[in-house]
Amino acid sequence: MQRSALSLVLLGSVAVIGGALLFQYVGGLVPCELCLTERWPYYIGIPVTLAALGVGGRRPITLGLIAIVLLLFIGSSALAFYHVGVEQHWFQGPTACTGGSGGAQTLEELRAQLMAQQPVRCDEPQWTLFGVSLAGWNLVASAVLAVLSFAALRDALGRRA
């Protein structure tokens, strides 16, 4: 069970990152600041999951690696939830990529605000499927990967006892 769950985590992680990169480089969707941040748990999780699969019988190391993967995808779920909340205007997003510019008193201040503005806004989904944005789908994927990581950790702890 542990190896199967970790293999699914690895496969899911590669699929999510591969999909994100395809949307970006083939589909032409420019990622926002939060989208780029949401990729980091996957970038870290892929090699850590590979290491957990490769360690094999060294239980303390395997447990530690699986625990790291679990924490990464719990954090990824929280980050994706935050991004969905920004898109739905439940939360204030990063000022660099949400809301309009305001408060400029001079032309130079307005220019500085416009130059600091991100080209893609975090609070406006660029693409949806069945009414769910990419951040929403990332929330689903991250939650599933967290559950699979938890199952792998539970199985590893069961074998240890």
Domains of the chain: 2-160 (1.20.1550.10)
How far is residue 109's CA from residue 157's CA, in Å, rounded to a whole number? Answer: 58
Burial 70-94 (b: 16+ CB within 10 A, else e): bebbbbbbebbbbbbebbeeeeebe
User: Residue 116: exposed, middle, or buried by beta-carbon count in 10 A (0-12, 13-18, 19+)?
Assistant: exposed
Count the helices and strands in the chain (H runs, E runs): 5, 2
Give tens-digit pLDDT for 26-48.
998 889 989 999 999 999 999 99
Give tens-digit pLDDT for 47-90.
999 999 988 766 888 899 999 999 999 999 999 999 999 999 89
> Does residue 80 sit in helix, strand or coil?
helix
pLDDT range class, residue 124, cuts 50, 70, 90:
confident
How far is residue 107's CA from residue 111's CA, in Å, rounded to a whole number? Answer: 6
For residue 101, pLDDT over 60 is answered with no
Query: What pLDDT does residue 148 have?
Result: 97
Query: What pLDDT does residue 24 have?
Result: 94
